[in-house]
Amino acid sequence: MAELGLIQAQRPIIGGAADFDTLIRNFLLASVFLLLWISFRPFEDLSEALDIAAIGGTVANQIGYSLLFVLLGAWCLFHEPRRLLFLIRPAFVALLFWIALSVANSWEPSLSGRRFAFTMVAIGIAGMVLLVPRNLRQFSGVLAATVLAVLAACYYGVFFLPSLSVHQSSDFAEPLLAGDWRGVFGHKNGAGATMVLFVFIGLFVARQRNIFVGALIVVLAATFLVFTRSATAIAMLPITLVMSNLTARMRTPAAAVSLTLLVVLLLNLFSVGSIYFEPIRNLLGLILSDPSFTGRTQIWEFAIDALAKHPLTGYGFAAFWNTPEVIYGMNSTDVWANTASHAHQGYLDLAITIGIPGAALAALWLIVLPLIDFCRSPNDPSLAPLKMLVLRVCLFAAYASCFESMLMQEGELGLFFFTSVFALRLLSVSRLAA
């Protein structure tokens, strides 16, 4: 991206060539975001039992992501692919090595291998998509149009296809969520996290492109967020907005990292820590109607007990929850614990699948280094909206992961999270190139 300050040859393009080049770039950008947020299975019917073997991706999604990966790879091959080398850093390489080790030691090696390959495809897309837009104006324009299209589809579903866009009492897995909006997404929590992301994008568009379009996105996304009743997303939105502004005022990387990690530590203390510290548990009982965080404490206890048996390499990348070994082979005092789809805690999910060292490497790559990159990026007013957007995405993922599994995931938020991590890296490198 030329506006990130990286050395990029800008060959003069005129006439029809310019139109065709813009069309290709717009198509690739829109395809990435539409596939990410709408996927190939919008308006999914939740009244039918889910096939456990199919959880984690459908054939259509896998083919779609793979095809998009190939298209982006072909495009980048002719547009200075060496810029991608800036994204490869020691922490990232070490993390991939450790995940590969966990795959080799997985109790489901083929499952871990497939999911690792699919995650690498998502990470590749997240990195290559940053090389597609010619400048920030094009990036913000396509992003705004795509987000408005997704919001329109979500609202259309709520008003005209409510049985497929709003949780129903007839839902097979979670009938108690009846009435919560989910739009084109498969679950209200995924919808909630995406709406928070859309609020951030709306603020970015308002500053970068058009204040009215940005405000419209913020209003539509915030309204939808309220009706999802996604507690984590609703609670983390104001926290992220406040903390992003405080972090932006930090003068040193050490201060920014310390502030963020302090918040993460406190959130983990009041979530997982409530299992072990009675004063915290009693305090939560006074201020929350459900101090178990809708049953999460039982899942966390179950996951921590399992982690204690395999703390080094875990049970294998993305190969713990929904596996027959867990559902049928592990005893639990709570039936829901060993039938949960994930730990509802991103850091714990990473530790149980790739071990504690792997979780530490992931936190280093996804949280600590991006904050350092943010502090080292240029103080260019034209880049300020983009810097704040990607910072907010990274902070939200870090905070929300204390209650949901959002780290090293390729779902609604995951791919854009990877993109934000890479964007901060490119911003930091652009200062050196300048």
Q: Which residue has the tokens 């983390």?
A: 236
Ramachandran assignment for 277, one of left (phi > 0), alpha (psi -120 to 50 degrees), beta (any other): beta
Give the domain ranges of the chain: 2-133+236-433
pTM, entire model: 0.91
Residue 353 and residue 103 in contact, taking contact as beta carbons nearer than 8 Å: no
Give the Cα separation of 409 and 397 in Å (integer).
Answer: 11
Q: Is the pLDDT of residue 296 over 60?
A: yes
The radius of gyration of the chain from alpha carbons, rounded to an integer in Å, stands at: 21
As beta bridge partners, residue 181 has 166
Q: How many CB atoms neighbour CB 324 within 10 A? A: 10
Q: HSE, CB side, 13 Å, CA atoms: give it for residue 307.
A: 20
Residue pair 355/102 in contact (Cβ under 8 Å)? The answer is yes
Mean pLDDT of 400-421: 85
CA–CA gap between residue 373 and residue 92 (Å, rounded): 14
Model pLDDT for residues 344-392, shown as the tens digit of each residue:
888 999 999 999 999 999 999 999 999 999 999 888 888 999 999 999 9
Q: Token pair 């599994």 is at which residue?
A: 405
For residue 43, pLDDT over 50 is answered with yes
Q: Which residue has the tokens 């996927």?
A: 39
The least confident of 80-84, 185-189, 310-314 is 80-84
Dihedral in degrees, nearest 10, Cα atoms 250, 256, 260, 263 = -50
Residue recorded with tokens 């910072």? 391
